[in-house]
Amino acid sequence: MDRTLEDRVAAAVRSWGRWVPRWQPGESRARTRPCRLCLGSPLLGHAGLDTDVPHAVGHALSTRLKRITDAEVADYTEKNLPTLAAELGRAEERTRRSYRPQEGLDPEFEGLPLDPEPEPGAPFLFTLAGLARDSSRDLPPPPPLSEEAKAALRIEIRLADECGQHAVALIGRALEQYRPEIRQTLARHVEPQIQALMADLQRELNVPPLSG
């Protein structure tokens, strides 16, 4: 296995381990939709974070690992897929000229909704996601592709996808050795907070009703 990839996986796990002690259950925003990044993630499965773990805790590692996958695919694309690389470059130039509130977020916040769910009967005056969409609409459309370029792009997208799948498989193998360390981090910092929440809930349920 590529030692550089192994080193990056180790760094991601260490970074996640430094973040976990700062996690607080009350700071996690309630979700109304499944997280597309975490739902069914094979990497979370390899890490042992796919069941009975608060979403925010798993998401914080998932996003760090996604950065590694994205970097592998970007490097492969730049070196081997000229049509796709050119299209991505044009797309990046367009987004660089628009409002991007999702840029510069810490890994544990990547991929999460930009705005909280609106309260019934109290709509937002504006949302960050809406501002981002509005700024993108003001940009001119990209030039059309020729049929040859479209055919080449379809092939290169498939190759990039295969590269991503290969990277995920390698990252998953590298993660296996860190499962004991990850379990220890959960036991030390996450499970006690969950147990405390459950104890508080149990006490509330056992409070006798006030007599009239």
This prediction's pTM: 0.76
Q: Give the per-residue pLDDT at 212.
A: 46
181 within a domain of the structure (yes/no): yes
28 within a domain of the structure (yes/no): no
Q: Give the per-residue pLDDT at 128.
A: 67
77 within a domain of the structure (yes/no): yes
29 within a domain of the structure (yes/no): no
30 within a domain of the structure (yes/no): no
End-to-end CA gap in the chain: 71
Task: Return d(Cα 14, Cα 61) in angstroms, integer.
Answer: 10
Q: Give the per-residue pLDDT at 142.
A: 73
How many separate domains does the chain show? 1
159 within a domain of the structure (yes/no): yes
Range of the domain at 173: 3-21+36-114+125-206
27 within a domain of the structure (yes/no): no
57 within a domain of the structure (yes/no): yes
Q: Give the per-residue pLDDT at 100.
A: 67
Task: Return d(Cα 16, Cα 60) in angstroms, integer.
Answer: 7
Q: Give 36's contacts (C-beta < 8 A, 6+ positions apart).
A: 111
**Residues in the chain with pLDDT < 50?**
1, 212
Q: Give the per-residue pLDDT at 31.
A: 61
Helix (H) or strand (E) holding 135: helix 128-137
